[in-house]
Amino acid sequence: MIALLLASCYDRTGRSDKLVAQVFDKKLYESEVLSIIPTDSKPEDSILIRNAYIDRWARESVMMHEAEKNIPPDLAIDRLVQDYAASLVMHQYEKTVVESLLDTLIDNQELEAYYEENKSQYLLESTIVRCHFIKVPRVVPKRAIEKIENLWRSNQRKEKDFAALVELCNLYATTFYLSDSIWYKLDLISGEMPKGAVNESVIRSNDVFQLENNDYYYFLKVLEIKDRKEIAPLTYIREQAAKVILHKRKIDLLAKLNEDLYQRASARNDIKIFAR
């Protein structure tokens, strides 16, 4: 007993281990505190980390002491620990299986089939728009603004004109959206423009805007609108739909694995049920 007591006062390197805190019968030693402090910490940071850890340990120890005093007599701690350990092992095994066997590729045909079957579940919570939008600071050179305006006003959708517009936006714009297929919340677009300049009623009466104030030039062309409570387009919920498809694949994969393992164990007579 004396040897054990002496050993408890030394850390793994054989150095004396100082007792730094005690709550009821629980003790905290210097070696445990030092183990959580990064080796490259500045002295003042080390002190803050040390004191915070000791304070947290003391508070948690007080709570644990009270919890241990009030454990219901019928609480099967060992069974709870076993169940928790089993769930951790099962979770890790399933995670490994999913990472190694789950097919994560989803083609357009599968996405479209899922969408057609489930699109009524995807009602919009706010108005969304397909649009082109450019926001350029007024400090940009006038020649650059003139080039952007000319390309913006042109009805020609030549590839070289579009590429030139994108290049100018990359150089000068603070924000720009030029995809024909991506949907955005109207609130996102209106938040980029002068307050009150764009709302649902405005974009229904005028789908092309070119505004300016003391800070920015604004260019907006609305291509399509979807109202709140309408069915969301597939391109808007594509990522969400893909997650649902993958989750279903994961459930099916684990169910098949479970059944295969059960049938294999049964065939080998590894399952013995003695009473029903």
Residue 19 host element (H or E): strand 19-23
Q: Give the torsion through C-alpha atoms of 253, 257, 260, 263, to 10 deg.
A: -130
How many domains does one find in the chain? 3
| pLDDT the model gives residue 23 | 95
| pLDDT the model gives residue 199 | 87
Measured in degrees and rounded to the nearest 5, phi and psi for residue 183 equal -100, 145
Beta 175-177 vs 183-185: how paired, if at all?
A: unpaired
How is residue 7 written in tokens?
């050993």
| pLDDT the model gives residue 202 | 85
**Which residues form the domain of 113?**
88-121+241-267
| Domain membership flag for residue 159 | yes
Q: Are 135 and 173 in contact (CB under 8 A)?
A: yes
| pLDDT the model gives residue 155 | 57
Same domain, 183 and 245: no
Same domain, 160 and 189: yes
**In the predicted model, what is the mean pLDDT of residues 8-21?**
64
Same domain, 133 and 219: yes
Same domain, 163 and 116: no
* Residues 121-177: tens digit of each pLDDT: 999 999 999 999 999 999 999 999 999 999 998 755 677 888 899 999 999 999 999
Same domain, 189 and 212: yes
With 90 as the cut, is the pLDDT of residue 16 above it? Answer: no
| Domain membership flag for residue 76 | no
Same domain, 35 and 111: no
Same domain, 65 and 103: no
| pLDDT the model gives residue 12 | 45
How is residue 190 written in tokens?
């209106």
How is residue 249 written in tokens?
């694949």
Same domain, 132 and 216: yes
Same domain, 135 and 186: yes
| Domain membership flag for residue 97 | yes
| Domain membership flag for residue 78 | no
Same domain, 154 and 203: yes
Q: How far apart are CA 44 and CA 12, in angstroms?
A: 26
